[in-house]
Amino acid sequence: MYNFEEGEVILLDKPIDWTSFDTVNFIRALIKRFYGIRKLKVGHAGTLDPLATGLLILCTGRKTKQIEEYQAKIKTYTGTILLGQTTPTFDLESDPDAFFSTENITPEQIDEARKKFIGDIKQYPPKYSAIKIKGKRAFDYARSDEEIELKARDIHIEDFKLSTERFPELDFEVTCSKGTYIRSLAHDFGKELGNGACLKSLRRTRIGDFKVEDAWQLEDLKQHIIDTGEEFKAMKAAEEKGR
């Protein structure tokens, strides 16, 4: 049984088509309802886009103070980069805005481009991102066709592996610092090849020492909260009666 008020760190395997914000709200509502808690802090340590799956760290109660500590940890992602097209969002959440021929791209060119993204690099966030500019989210400017100036950020790519077996789809694994946008990495990789690319799929497998294999599936966590909620409320009632 979790003690959500005192504080818990919960590993969740976020499903596709859920925002990180929606996931937090869903879990908070479940806990409040089935544990009979009126007010409860719940937050997450690192946003995943709706089309991404994988490890999401949820913190409750006093453990929310540790969110920044978890956000700062090195992260590992797997996924697929699609060569030959670009999109406004740098992934498949939007329709393609340009197409490119991939016929003349060689495995050697791909490997040479890959090496240029390892180490300390500068990266521009996608214009469709939650980064704040003058108190407003970047995606709000983008959706209203307002021009904004995005500043490059210093990031670190510890490792970047690519497979060309399913070309023009490139399966990858990347280990990187806080603040890295994998969508931007895919987009910039296409530009480095003199081509176009976007992110087809993404899964976060690791945050520091936390692994997605140890995470709850959303439905299993939901059922666990429901199953243990009545027990928790009965225990609290007994404590109140004994005072």
pLDDT, position 235: 79
- Where residue 145 falls among pLDDT bands split at 50, 70, 90? low
The residue from 17, 22, 49, 220 that is catalytic is 49
Residues 97 and 126 in one domain: yes
- Where residue 143 falls among pLDDT bands split at 50, 70, 90? low
Residues 194 and 233 in one domain: no
Say if 4 falls within a structural domain.
no
Query: Catalytic site residue 154?
Result: no
C-alpha span between 141 and 48 (Å, rounded): 20
Residues 151 and 223 in one domain: no
Say if 50 falls within a structural domain.
yes
- Where residue 238 falls among pLDDT bands split at 50, 70, 90? confident
Residues 118 and 138 in one domain: yes
Q: How far is CA 211 from the centre of its chain?
A: 14
| pLDDT above 90: percentage of residues in the chain | 81
The domain that contains 185 carries what CATH number? 3.30.2350.10
Say if 2 falls within a structural domain.
no
pLDDT, position 153: 92
Asked if pLDDT for residue 130 goes beyond 90, the answer is no
Residues 108 and 176 in one domain: yes
Residues 85 and 175 in one domain: yes
Asked if pLDDT for residue 157 goes beyond 80, the answer is yes
- Where residue 126 falls among pLDDT bands split at 50, 70, 90? confident
Number of domains, the chain:
2
Residues 97 and 192 in one domain: yes
40, with CB counted inside 10 A (0-12, 13-18, 19+), is middle
Asked if pLDDT for residue 226 goes beyond 60, the answer is yes
pLDDT, position 236: 75
Say if 3 falls within a structural domain.
no
Residues 66 and 121 in one domain: no
Question: What's the token pair of residue 80?
Answer: 């697929």
Give 12 or 131, the one with higher predicted confidence.
12
Tell me if 57 sits within 8 A of 70, measured CB to CB.
Answer: yes
Residues 156 and 171 in one domain: yes
- Full residue range of the structural domain in which residue 231 is found: 9-71+209-242
C-alpha span between 106 and 119 (Å, rounded): 23
| pLDDT above 70: percentage of residues in the chain | 90
pLDDT, position 167: 97
Say if 54 falls within a structural domain.
yes
C-alpha span between 116 and 122 (Å, rounded): 11
Instruction: Kindly report, residue by residue over 21-80, the tens digit of the pLDDT.
Output: 999 999 999 999 999 999 999 999 999 999 999 999 999 999 999 999 999 999 999 999
Q: Give the pairing type, strands 153-166 and 85-86.
A: unpaired
Residues 144 and 172 in one domain: yes
Tell me if 224 sits within 8 A of 35, measured CB to CB.
Answer: no
Q: CA angle, corner 241, sides to 239 and 243, nearest 5? A: 75
- What predicted TM-score, i.e. pTM, was given to this entire model? 0.91
Residues 28 and 88 in one domain: no
Residues 137 and 222 in one domain: no
- Where residue 1 falls among pLDDT bands split at 50, 70, 90? confident
